[in-house]
Chains A and B, each alone.
Chain A
Amino acid sequence: MIEHIELFFKSIFIDNMVFAVFLGMCSYLAVSKKVATAVGLGAAVIFVLAITVPLNWLLDQYLLQPGALKWLGPEYADFDLSFLSFIMFIATIATMVQLVEIVVEKFSPSLYNSLGIFLPLIAVNCAILGGSLFMQAREIETLGLALNYGVSSGIGWFLAILAIAAIREKIRYSNVPAPLRGLGITFIITGLMGIGFLSFGGMLTGGDEEGEPSTEPEPTSQVEQIETEKSVELANNTKIIE
């Protein structure tokens, strides 16, 4: 249970799709002019992520991983199809999006009217493919955790687009320098929000870092910290490739 809660908050705040890894930026910038449309797209992203991440988890587990074909018989145990993951994942996503669109249109026209126009956009949203690829890279262990990861990173994305849409609605009445209007200021605000979200980094460690005795600002400490973070990331990445 505790790992579910941990993953949930980690994916929403610390590894936020938009602010930490820049996924789904295209639609994030294009569809965030009004809060209402942003909510529609955000809901659609949560919905599609919740379906595709567990599905791709199953594909990865029983088809793509090195040795995943063991269930077919011992002679298939050496097969490694992981180089096919990109094409399998994107095919799953494209078909699921199409399928969801058809089902929703048939059974719930009202939901279709609010979600419908965003669904085709979503097939090529980096957040969706990114969700599956990060699920694979982080070696999520169970189907339940994969579902949790899909839903919570969707919620993270939803919060991000909701926040920027609200800010953009207000900023229309501000006196922004002409060349910065529109796109430029949106980029900078997103950057500032990202800096804000960096502060969630201490959440899981319980803020240990601040408690350290060396409060004296060392010139290289910040860089070192980033480098260790990076090497941890690298270590995580090597796991997949090995």
Chain B
Amino acid sequence: MGLLSKKDGKLITDPLADNNPITIQVLGICSALAITAELKASLVMGIAVLFVLGVGNVVISLLRNIIPSKIRIIVQLIVVATLVIIVDQVLKAYAYELSKTLSVFIGLIITNCIIMGRFEAFALGNGPWRSFLDGIGNALGYAVILVIVGFFRELLGSGTLFGIPVLGDAIEKTGVYSIGYENNGFMLMPPMALIIVGLLIWVQRSRNKALIED
């Protein structure tokens, strides 16, 4: 963090924990949870949001004095939609399988509340560099949660990480399966993502009492 002043550094580190977009600000849950059954998809989703939010924040911040406030929502939506189309086309060209798994959820980055939320709350009132840092920080905070959820769901649900078996072979009964361990297929079901996030919130809030709601 030598490059950044203390205040700028906080823009990146705050959203990682104490002001996390998912567990504290409750933004961007929409498109996040459905794709966390695999770690790889979660990671790609995190990177996609990192790109869109980082670049989008800079663009909005540069335009902030030109955009009439009445039509700002539409302008913001157009900026995000353009960036998301770029991400979608790149994924289709270089990672076709993955783009099929993510299907419409890449498109749903457009209405990801984190993005609109950060545009409204930060980029419209701050310079490009600080907006960029804020975008990166929030996208990382989002990606961290996705990766944690994806890690547990893939590990417990199918015994693999990034598609590589880490717990041994379920059919040949090697590794931990030899002592009677079974994959929990339930973890691959959509509702388990919500329960895992709920448990994450529980852990985070019990470690930091200041975050508890009344």
Contacts and interface: CB of A to CB of B under 8 A. Distances in A.
A120 B72 CA distance: 12
A234 B32 CA distance: 19
Interface string B177-193: 00000110110111111
With a 10 A CB-CB cut-off, give which of B78, B110, B193 has the most chain A CB atoms: B110
A77 interface: no
Interface string A10-47: 00000000011111111001100000000000000000
Contacts of A223: 157-158, 183, 185, 188
A184 B100 contact: no
A226 B188 contact: yes
B135 interface: no
B108 A130 contact: yes
Looking at chain B's contact residues, is the secondary structure mostly helix, strand, loop, or mixed? helix
* Interface of chain A, main secondary structure: helix
B174 interface: no
Interface in B99-128: 100-101, 103-104, 107-108, 110-113, 116
B104 A134 contact: yes
Interface in B185-214: 185-186, 188-195, 197-199, 201-206, 209, 211-214
Nearest to B157: A223
A178 B95 CA distance: 44
Given A180-B198, A181-B213, A183-B213, A87 B78 contact: yes
A128 B111 CA distance: 9
Given A184-B205, A223-B158, A26 B77 contact: no
A126 B74 contact: no
Contact of A94 (B77, B82, B107, B214): B77
A28 to B, nearest CB: 8
B81 A86 contact: yes
A183 B204 CA distance: 12
Interface of B: 23, 26-34, 73-74, 77-78, 81-82, 84-85, 88-89, 92, 100-101, 103-104, 107-108, 110-113, 116, 157-158, 170-171, 182-183, 185-186, 188-195, 197-199, 201-206, 209, 211-214
A25 B33 contact: yes
Given A134-B104, A191-B191, A220 B198 contact: no
Contacts of A179: 201-206, 209, 211-212
A181 B212 contact: yes
A195 B191 contact: yes
Contact of B92 (A23, A85, A183, A241): A241
B110 A86 contact: yes
